[in-house]
Structure 1
Amino acid sequence: MISTKKFSMDNIKLYKTSFFLIILISLTTFPALIFIENIDKIHNAFGISKENIVSGKYWVTFTYSLFHRSYSHYLFNIILIIFMSKSIEGNYGSIRMVGLVLISIISSSISVILYSNFSSVIGASGIVFGMLGAYSSWVILYPTYFSREYKFLMVFILLINVLIHWIIFINTFNFSISSHIGGFIGGILFCFVNWLFERKRIRN
């Protein structure tokens, strides 16, 4: 189930959704951080929040995932997207990769609107955790494809994430846990629905 193809310029056609996503996030984040001095302006115009939705800024449901509050925030998410996206798109294809990204964005934004205490949230963390949800669901949906070592690794990664988010929660760091959980659930739901369609197609 895991692709071993390299993510390189020679394989942009194979990973065109991932490539386009990385370029799009970069082209929105860097100009915003360079030319907009006040980060609150980015939050007000593009961040996901109850207030922005109520005021009719429906585009923030998607745009929040493209902007970041700092270069370190951007780099952290981009590195994880590069690391995880090649296997997901290599196995699902570019079109279904688009579906995973969109569902992760939407589920993350819904979670933020319903449960977040932040006035506004920006960042691609929902996408990152959607991909992590996809990796995690593979272990359950396709158990024969993976070694015991890989399964232990996924359990270890999930436990580390639980610990990190618990530390964030008790110390009230500036991270939106609800956006992470929402993206993670979206990734799992996408993979489960895809698995159901695969089983239906095999039966037919």
Structure 2
Amino acid sequence: MSGRDLERGAAKGPRGGGYNQAAAYYAGGGRGDSESQWTSWLVPVIVVANVAVFIAAMYVNNCPRNNLGFEGGCVAGFLGRFSFQPLKENPLFGPSSSTLLKMGGLKWDNVVNGNQGWRLITCMWLHAGVIHLLANMLSLVFIGIRLEQQFGFVKVGAIYLISGFGGSVLSSLFIQNNISVGASGAVFGLLGAMLSELLTNWTIYTNKAAALFTLLFIVAINLAVGILPHVDNFAHIGGFLTGFLLGFILLIRPQFGWVERRAKSKHMGYQYVLLLIALVLLIAGFVVGLIMLFRGENANDHCSWCHYLSCVPTSRWKCTN
């Protein structure tokens, strides 16, 4: 993408698998119960919606008519108005910056000074290109379907949407000169919810240590990839933290205790404590974040080193805000 854009790129896990290995290991080998599963339909609908929005963005983009003169012609010209911008402008096979902004991409100035707060939500349905879209949707399928089968569409849908919103808020606080798009904040939220669900429902899992290590390793790899330039790691971090807190609130399960020599399903005291702490932190985080955002504050002024969380300069690239 051009220097003005930030993709909320899906990061990669071991051997390029991204979030997938964590989802497969965690969901398949954990619990010792045999409860029935929900039918997953929401996650496929979200995938279809994202693909439809991308097709609509390419229709609006209309590269043959609106190419601004970047070196090279439209890519895949046989697609007509659905052809991609020149690779020097967008190497991810997608639309232009102006199209992404027109369709609802996240930009600080439009949100704060243009009173367009709706961009905090619309940006999570846009993608910078085919590569970006495929990476996020594959990750969503591997993580989201399993979670929806276990917890139902209401809880998973809430985590997805609220996490995406949380990622947008944190991104806007730290990145104020670029356009940011992508669903990976929401996908990272599901990954965060997987981690907190494992912790709050600890006693009903087998292979606890292995599952926890696997999840932490995948989280670390995904966030580490986010320090590359032109990847909005603040959206990843914001989505992950939001989903992590929501997992303690929405994904709590009854545990098993012994009452008069009989196993009885019940919630444990520590689960309620974690739920209360997570709820307070979540509300406080959104209140503080939104107040700072709409007052036009730059979070980098309060944290001089935080910009390294999204990009670390090296001899091969430089970081700009």
User: Common fold, TM-score beyond 0.5?
Assistant: yes
The partner residue of 2:211 within 129, 143, 150 is 150
Are 1:50 and 2:108 an aligned pair? Answer: yes
More helix, by proportion = 1
Residue type matched to 2:99 in 1? K
More strand, by proportion = 2
Q: 2:121 corresponds to which residue? A: 62
Is the CA contact (8 Å cut-off) linking 2:151 and 2:251 kept in structure 1?
no
Is the CA contact (8 Å cut-off) linking 1:136 and 1:154 kept in structure 2?
yes
- Using a 3 Å threshold, how does the CA distance of structure 1 residues 156 and 138 change in structure 2: closer, same or farther? same
Q: 2:47 corresponds to which residue? A: 22
Q: 2:303 corresponds to which residue? A: none
The partner residue of 2:236 within 170, 175, 180 is 180
C-alpha distance in 2 between matches for 1:101 and 1:162: 18
In the TM superposition, structure 1's runs of 4+ consecutive aligned residues that sit over 3 Å from their partners are 1-4, 195-199
- Structure 1's unaligned 5+ residue stretches are 5-12
- Structure 2's unaligned 5+ residue stretches are 1-25, 30-37, 64-95, 256-265, 269-321
Residue type matched to 2:187 in 1? V
Are 1:98 and 2:157 an aligned pair? Answer: yes
For residues 148-198 of structure 1, the C-alpha deviation after alignment (integer angstroms, 9 at most, x for no partner) is 3222211221232243234x1xxxx11101100011011111111225697
C-alpha distance in 2 between matches for 1:123 and 1:174: 12
C-alpha distance in 1 between matches for 2:52 and 2:222: 29
Map 1:155-166 onto structure 2 (within 5 A): 155-166=216-227
Q: Percent same amino acid at aligned positions?
A: 23
Structure 1 or 2, whichever has the larger Rg, is: 2
Is the CA contact (8 Å cut-off) linking 2:57 and 2:103 kept in structure 1?
no
Is the CA contact (8 Å cut-off) linking 1:139 and 1:146 kept in structure 2?
no
Q: 1:10 corresponds to which residue? A: none
RMSD over aligned Cα, in angstroms?
Answer: 2.4
TM-score, normalising length: structure 2: 0.54
- Using a 3 Å threshold, how does the CA distance of structure 1 residues 93 and 43 change in structure 2: closer, same or farther? same
C-alpha distance in 2 between matches for 1:124 and 1:198: 31
For residues 9-62 of structure 1, the C-alpha deviation after alignment (integer angstroms, 9 at most, x for no partner) is xxxx81121121111111101221354133322124411122121312232121
CA drift at 1:68: 0.6
C-alpha distance in 2 between matches for 1:42 and 1:155: 33
Is the CA contact (8 Å cut-off) linking 1:44 and 1:52 kept in structure 2?
no
Residue type matched to 1:104 in 2? S
Question: May I ask how many residue pairs the two structures share in their alignment?
Answer: 189
The partner residue of 1:108 within 167, 171, 185 is 167
Is the CA contact (8 Å cut-off) linking 2:192 and 2:241 kept in structure 1?
yes
- Using a 3 Å threshold, how does the CA distance of structure 1 residues 162 and 31 change in structure 2: closer, same or farther? closer
SS at match of 1:64: helix
Q: 1:194 corresponds to which residue? A: 250
TM-score, normalising length: structure 1: 0.82
C-alpha distance in 1 between matches for 2:199 and 2:253: 16
- Using a 3 Å threshold, how does the CA distance of structure 1 residues 24 and 120 change in structure 2: closer, same or farther? same
